[in-house]
């Protein structure tokens, strides 16, 4: 049960929207989530918002204390775009926001913790959504400007950057199904525009870093992708290969393959469908020669978020608009959950550790054994400090990682989601993922370790996965 000694142990508290609070403090501008939760509280399960959340903006020293207590060697967090550029454009900067992130980075480093920084974890400045957000190709230069400022401001100390969290999930939720703000329901069009613009923004950022900053800063860049492993109900390996191309290939293939474009059959199938619909062109066109050359190889490792696995079968009935895969009209697959595996508080999250092992082997075999950094992996419940199911989840998923490493997979780090309970988007505070509970009614929002924190501490200290806890 030994874990590979070279694997870095970290933790995540990534999305500042979920943890920072201080939504309008010290000159921060509004994000689309601020507007949404204020205007449509009924769309959040408990009617809550992230105005204060767990107050990491004010209480970062408390976060630092528990990070040290856990003994992690890296910590993933994100920068809120509108906290430092209130309306998104870099010509207006908010020095207090910049000071805050400088302080966080300096304190982490002073305590021997490497900052792993996500540039964008969904806090889109309202002003940028006004012109279409990620569906407008103008976002490419806006993002590039933003990223360049981040490299200038923090790149002397930040050596691991993640550009845009979970492109596929983000695009589907914002511009496909529209379950998240700005609630654009344009499946098979809006989500594909968004995906294309994200890939271009990411690729251009990578090239810009290499040209202007790499020589001095020597950092590495990744594109965090959530991947559910898909099992065929009929045990058909061709189905799995085809479905995984829709599940991950639409992001992974452009970045990691030699073509620099979407998987060929995905391009072909969507083009055929689009023409059959009477359109003049595909809803998901090829990225083209120029962009493929920019995007190809634009990642120094695969940044993986893994939570669960799904089953697939050919679609025969109605399209499920809420499917976690991209549009079922295009994939022609129906997805279902492993109902016989324990379910977390989140409806989409079942306990399938084997899925992580199989996914890592799939990545090894499909993408030339690229280096994988696991940057999210977690279990939700309704709260309580005796969180034995969370321990079982991490114990089994860590064992899956060990098994995969022993089978030649190139995994170099593991960071569970998440450090502490926080705002879970439209589920409000009803789903808890943390190793630490937060006293939401006390002025100092004390963080208290759950049993899982003790467990993870032991994992980090012993560099092995305890058989029993």
What amino acid positions are annotated as catalytic residues?
166, 376
Of residues 297 through 316, those in contact with ligand BGC by CB under 6 A are: 305
For the window 38-77, what string marks contact with ligand BGC as x by the rule CB under 6 A?
A: ----------------------------------------
CB of 216 to ligand BGC, least distance (A): 30
CB of 237 to ligand BGC, least distance (A): 27
Interaction of residue 424 with ligand BGC, rule CB under 6 A: yes
Between 181 and 260, name the residue whose CB sits nearer to ligand BGC.
181
**Cβ-contact 371, 432 below 8 angstroms:** no
Q: What is the CA radius of gyration of the chain?
A: 21
Look-up of token digits 């089994």 = 396
Binding piece for ligand BGC, criterion CB under 6 A, among 67-75, 161-169, 362-370, 405-413: 161-169
Applying CB under 6 A, among 165, 205, 228, 331 the residue interacting with ligand BGC is 165
For residue 430, give the DSSP letter.
S
**Cβ-contact 324, 244 below 8 angstroms:** no
CB of 422 to ligand BGC, least distance (A): 8
3-state secondary structure 66-107: HHHHHCCCEEEEECCHHHHCCCCCCCCCCHHHHHHHHHHHHH
CB of 413 to ligand BGC, least distance (A): 16
CB of 240 to ligand BGC, least distance (A): 22
Between 168 and 200, name the residue whose CB sits nearer to ligand BGC.
168
CB of 425 to ligand BGC, least distance (A): 7
Strands 436-438 and 447-449: antiparallel
Instruction: Measure the CA–CA gap between 415 and 370, rounded to whole angstroms.
Output: 18
Nearest one of 129, 119, 125, 134 to 171, comparing CA atoms = 134
Which residues are within 8 A (CB) of 264 and not within 5 positions of it... i.e. 6 or more apart? Answer: none
Interaction of residue 123 with ligand BGC, rule CB under 6 A: no
Binding piece for ligand BGC, criterion CB under 6 A, among 128-136, 164-172, 293-301, 323-331: 164-172
First to last CA, the chain: 13
Instruction: Measure the CA–CA gap between 232 and 371, rounded to whole angstroms.
Output: 26
Which residues are within 8 A (CB) of 418 and not within 5 positions of it... i.e. 6 or more apart? Answer: 11, 12, 13, 14, 376, 378, 433, 434, 435
Residue 305 CB neighbours (<10 A): 21
Of residues 265 through 284, those in contact with ligand BGC by CB under 6 A are: none
Between 274 and 413, name the residue whose CB sits nearer to ligand BGC.
413
Instruction: Measure the CA–CA gap between 339 and 372, rounded to whole angstroms.
Output: 29
For the window 214-243, what string marks contact with ligand BGC as x by the rule CB under 6 A?
A: ------------x-----------------
For residue 173, give the DSSP letter.
I
Applying CB under 6 A, among 114, 166, 239, 381 the residue interacting with ligand BGC is 166
CB of 308 to ligand BGC, least distance (A): 10
For the window 4-33, what string marks contact with ligand BGC as x by the rule CB under 6 A?
A: -----------x------------------
Does the N-terminal peptide bond of residue 418 adopt cis geometry, omega within 30 degrees of 0? Answer: yes
- Residue whose Cβ sits closest to ligand BGC: 15
Residue 335 CB neighbours (<10 A): 21
**Cβ-contact 123, 77 below 8 angstroms:** no
Between 15 and 250, name the residue whose CB sits nearer to ligand BGC.
15
Between 113 and 304, name the residue whose CB sits nearer to ligand BGC.
304
Instruction: Measure the CA–CA gap between 450 and 461, rounded to whole angstroms.
Output: 17
Number of residues that bind ligand BGC (CB under 6 A): 9
Between 165 and 366, name the residue whose CB sits nearer to ligand BGC.
165
Binding piece for ligand BGC, criterion CB under 6 A, among 103-111, 165-173, 251-259, 393-401: 165-173
CB of 15 to ligand BGC, least distance (A): 4
Between 180 and 201, name the residue whose CB sits nearer to ligand BGC.
180
Instruction: Measure the CA–CA gap between 344 and 322, rounded to whole angstroms.
Output: 18
For the window 384-423, what string marks contact with ligand BGC as x by the rule CB under 6 A?
A: ---------------------------------x------
CB of 424 to ligand BGC, least distance (A): 6
Look-up of token digits 């996500």 = 118
Look-up of token digits 């030649």 = 408
How deeply is 271 buried, as exposed, middle or buried, from its count of CB atoms within 10 A (0-12, 13-18, 19+)? middle
Between 205 and 226, name the residue whose CB sits nearer to ligand BGC.
226
Between 122 and 455, name the residue whose CB sits nearer to ligand BGC.
122
Task: Tell me which residues touch ligand BGC (CB under 6 A).
Answer: 15, 165-166, 169, 226, 305, 376, 417, 424
């Amino acid at each position: 049960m030994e874990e590979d000694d070279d694997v870095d142990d970290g933790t995540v508290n990534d999305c500042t929207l979920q943890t920072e609070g201080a939504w309008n403090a010290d000159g921060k501008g509004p994000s689309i989530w601020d507007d949404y939760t204020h205007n449509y509280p009924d769309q959040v399960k408990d009617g809550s918002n992230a105005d204060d959340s767990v107050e990491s903006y004010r209480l970062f020293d408390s976060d630092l204390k528990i990070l040290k207590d856990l003994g992690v060697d890296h910590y993933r967090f994100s920068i809120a775009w509108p906290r430092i550029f209130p309306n998104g454009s870099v010509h207006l900067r908010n020095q207090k926001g910049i000071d805050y992130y400088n302080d966080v980075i300096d304190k982490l480093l002073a305590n021997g913790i490497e900052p792993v920084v996500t540039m964008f974890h969904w806090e889109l400045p309202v002003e940028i959504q006004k012109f279409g957000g990620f569906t407008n190709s103008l976002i490419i230069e806006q993002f590039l400007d933003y990223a360049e400022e981040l490299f200038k401001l923090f790149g002397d100390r930040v050596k691991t950057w993640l550009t845009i969290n979970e492109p596929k999930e983000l695009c589907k939720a914002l511009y496909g199904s529209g379950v998240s703000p700005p609630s654009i329901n344009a499946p098979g069009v809006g989500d594909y525009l968004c995906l294309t613009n994200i890939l271009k923004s990411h690729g251009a950022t990578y090239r810009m870093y290499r040209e202007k900053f790499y020589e001095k800063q020597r950092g590495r860049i990744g594109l965090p992708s959530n991947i559910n492993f898909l099992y065929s109900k009929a045990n058909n390996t061709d189905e799995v290969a085809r479905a995984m191309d829709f599940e991950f290939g639409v992001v992974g293939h452009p970045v990691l393959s030699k073509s620099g474009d979407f998987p060929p059959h995905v391009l072909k199938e969507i083009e055929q469908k689009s023409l059959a619909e009477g359109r003049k062109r595909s809803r998901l066109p090829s990225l083209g020669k120029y962009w493929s050359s920019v995007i190809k190889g634009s990642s120094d490792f695969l940044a993986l978020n893994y939570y669960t696995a799904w089953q697939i079968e050919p679609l025969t009935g109605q399209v499920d608009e809420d499917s976690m895969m991209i549009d079922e009209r295009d994939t022609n697959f129906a997805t279902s959950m492993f109902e016989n595996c324990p379910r977390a508080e989140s409806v989409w999250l079942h306990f399938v550790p084997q899925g992580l092992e199989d996914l890592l082997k799939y990545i090894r075999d499909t993408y030339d054994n690229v280096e994988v950094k696991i940057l999210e992996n977690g279990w939700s419940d309704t709260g309580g400090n005796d969180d034995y199911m969370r321990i079982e989840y991490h114990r089994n998923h860590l064992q899956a990682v060990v098994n995969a490493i022993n089978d030649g997979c190139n995994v170099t780090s593991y960071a569970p989601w998440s450090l502490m309970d926080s705002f879970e988007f439209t589920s409000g505070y009803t789903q808890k993922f943390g190793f630490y509970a937060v006293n939401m009614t006390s002025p100092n929002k004390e963080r208290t370790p759950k049993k899982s924190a003790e467990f993870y501490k032991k994992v980090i200290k012993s560099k092995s996965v305890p058989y029993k806890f």
